[in-house]
Amino acid sequence: MKKSIVIAGTHSGVGKTTVSMGIMAALTRRGMHVQPYKVGPDYIDPTHHTAICGRPSRNLDTFMMGEEGVRQSFHCSYNDADIGVVEGVMGLFDGMNSSDLASSAHVAKSLGAPVILVVNVHGMSRSAAALIKGYSEFDSDVHIDGVVLNRVGSPRHAQMIRDVLDVPVVGALPRNQDLTVPSRHLGLHMADERDYDLEKLGNFIEENVDLDGVLSLANEPRPAAPEECIANREADVTIGVAMDSAFCFYYQDMLDSFCRCGAEIKFFSPLEGEIPDVDGMYFGGGYPELHIAELEKSRTTHKLKDLSADGMPIYGECGGLQYLCTSYEIEDRVYKLADLFPAETVMTKKLQALGYTKGHAHSPIFRGEVRGHEFHYSVTDCASDSRLAYTMERGKGIVNGMDGIYEHNSVASYMHAHPDSFPVDDFVNSCRKYKQR
């Protein structure tokens, strides 16, 4: 029987990532197969989940995927797991605008999964009961079946709160600054930069959380529509995916969608100057600004313009867009980059865009509605004759309600797209046509 549990918080910064990762680590250490998930458009937390659990973490997002898409992704990725652990996003009920769309609560309701609520009880005792009561009764379709108290001052402090709660307390965590995961401008550090002790994290959770109690709360998720999970088509085309410290933001579902459409994935490193023998390329987001001098000198950077002019399909998102432009200015120094598109990017100290996006693609390469999100600290100035790829119904994009630039068979945008709406078939087919010329 499949089992699921959602770890949510009262608000951002309450400790749900530490609790989620710690529970994953402790259960995995017990020999259990834990399938990790993350609510919302997050690339970084899933890398930690994947490293801990040894299996790819999946994003669950009702705006980008719909309720049925969330259920399908959960069931098709569960496979031989013993439990699915879903890390929430922001506060439990925080969704788009004033709704619950895309919130942790919406995902929990879509799955029919119970919620363990993480509460920072620093500086309160009996008041915690009022807070938890409000969360428990706010939406009768959301079931908060357990609570983890974080930043507890002492065993007596924890007991004072337990005595006035109607919801089971499955964990009481003392303050521990040593287990904080470092962050930078786009979020936490990636898993390969891990600056925390995973063994210590597992021990901390094992000592302070009733893992058997957590397991007893997990239940069987709501079934998906009676559709079979789509098997991969036999690969007849190869797509190179940039994967290194500069380009590392990818949805596992996007890579899997390429494979289902008949593509073999070949990872390569622009930082190492690699030029793979492939039929198309995909440059995801990441941190090109942290490696800009190396990228400027890279053999990959110098070769891409010719490959694009030759007709190779090349797709980029956010950091990929920045890399594929003519130049990137960082702290008053201009770096020459791939020059696929007549546009110049400037790194800013101020956040330029953050949130969900919906665009309508009208380029010769992609057409139709595409949903995703944007998150960047840069602006891109396009030449007057640049051809823009998306009209934005939601989101900032590049300029004047438009996003994406295209040249030849190459297209890049600030929007990080999700495969449930992105025309994966079109991209793979364009790679197929390029191969067959």
What are 93-126's pLDDT values in tens digits? Answer: 999 999 999 999 999 999 999 999 999 999 999 9
Retrieve residue 169's tokens. 């307390």
Has 318 been annotated as catalytic? yes
Across the range 176-198, mean pLDDT stands at: 57
Q: Given this model, what pLDDT does residue 280 score? A: 98
pLDDT of 1 > 90? The answer is no
pLDDT of 407 > 90? The answer is yes
Q: Given this model, what pLDDT does residue 184 score? A: 41
Q: Given this model, what pLDDT does residue 118 score? A: 98
pLDDT of 187 > 50? The answer is no
Instruction: Kindly report, as residue ranges, where domains of CATH 3.40.50.300 are found in the chain.
Output: 4-217
Burial of 278 from C-beta contacts in 10 A (0-12 / 13-18 / 19+): buried
Retrieve residue 96's tokens. 């788009």
Question: How far lies 37's CA from each of 42, 60, 224, 306, in Å?
Answer: 10, 7, 16, 39
pLDDT of 189 > 80? The answer is no
- Provide the strand spans (E) within 103-245: 115-120, 144-152, 169-174, 183-184, 187-188, 237-242
Q: Which helix (H) or strand (E) holds 34?
A: strand 34-39
Q: Going by CATH, does the domain composed of 4-217 fall within 3.10.180.10?
A: no
Confidence band of 230 (pLDDT split at 50, 70, 90)? confident
- What is the C-alpha separation between 255 and 424, in angstroms, rounded? 10
Q: Going by CATH, does the domain composed of 237-435 fall within 3.20.20.70?
A: no
For residue range 278-313, list pLDDT tens digits in order. 999 999 999 999 999 999 999 999 999 999 999 999
- What phi and psi, each to the nearest 5 degrees, are found at residue 293? -65, -40
pLDDT of 228 > 80? The answer is no
- The 10 Å CB-count burial string (b at 16+, else e) for 10-29 is beeebbbbbbbbbbbbbbbb
Instruction: Kindly report, as residue ranges, where domains of CATH 3.40.50.880 are found in the chain.
Output: 237-435
Across the range 326-353, mean pLDDT stands at: 96
- Enter the pTM of the model: 0.93
Catalytic residue among 248, 261, 318, 431: 318
Q: Given this model, what pLDDT does residue 180 score? A: 62
Q: What percent of the chain has pLDDT over 90?
A: 88
Strand partners, 315: 282, 411
For residue range 244-257, list pLDDT tens digits in order. 999 999 999 999 99
Q: Given this model, what pLDDT does residue 194 score? A: 53
Q: Specify the 3-state DSSP secondary structure of 226.
A: coil
Q: Given this model, what pLDDT does residue 178 score? A: 66
Sign of CA dihedral 126, 217, 209, 81: negative
Across the range 223-236, mean pLDDT stands at: 82
Confidence band of 259 (pLDDT split at 50, 70, 90)? very high
Measured in residues, the chain has a length of 437
Q: Given this model, what pLDDT does residue 186 score? A: 46
pLDDT of 193 > 60? The answer is no
Across the range 68-90, mean pLDDT stands at: 95
